[in-house]
């Protein structure tokens, strides 16, 4: 089946925005669960914080930062599409949004590994 609209950068920006939103939605209950360990006392919270020092968790946090940045950049792009006049620079805006998202994740990763 031929779907030429899926080759357009704006469609990919839409898809990344939706996928990042869904992934963040799945993350929120886990985040609340982790924060909820503080209710069980200092020892439970300390155990959770020790677990988050795991390299796999740090890698997942980097992915989370990329998802947050991608979702934010996609939201800003969507606001621009809705409220600004249409121009041919939309493709550049999509590429810049992706670059900002990846750069935010890399900055986070480098900061985590340096600490």
Distance, CA of 96 to CA of 47 (rounded, Å) = 40
Q: Whole-prediction pTM value?
A: 0.64
Domain extent, residue 62, equals: 10-114
In a domain, 3, yes or no: no
In a domain, 5, yes or no: no
Which 8-state DSSP code applies to residue 91? H
Longest dimension (CA), the chain: 57
In a domain, 1, yes or no: no
Number of domains within the chain: 1
Q: What is the CATH number of the domain that holds 53?
A: 1.20.1300.10
Per-residue pLDDT at 96: 82
Quick one: CA dihedral 65, 71, 73, 76, positive or negative?
A: negative
In a domain, 4, yes or no: no
Q: What is the mean pLDDT of each run of 10 residues along the chain (115 residues)?
A: 73 86 90 88 90 89 87 83 74 79 85 68
């Amino acid at each position: 089946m031929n779907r030429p609209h899926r080759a357009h950068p704006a469609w990919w920006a839409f898809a990344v925005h939706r996928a990042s939103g869904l992934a963040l939605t799945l993350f929120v209950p886990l985040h609340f669960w982790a924060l909820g360990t503080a209710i069980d006392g200092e020892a439970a919270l300390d155990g959770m914080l020790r677990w988050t020092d795991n390299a796999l968790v740090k890698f997942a946090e980097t992915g989370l930062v990329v998802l947050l940045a991608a979702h934010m950049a996609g939201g800003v792009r969507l606001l621009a599409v809705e409220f600004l006049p249409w121009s041919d620079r939309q493709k550049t805006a999509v590429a810049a949004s992706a670059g900002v998202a990846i750069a935010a994740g890399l900055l986070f990763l480098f900061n985590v590994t340096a600490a």
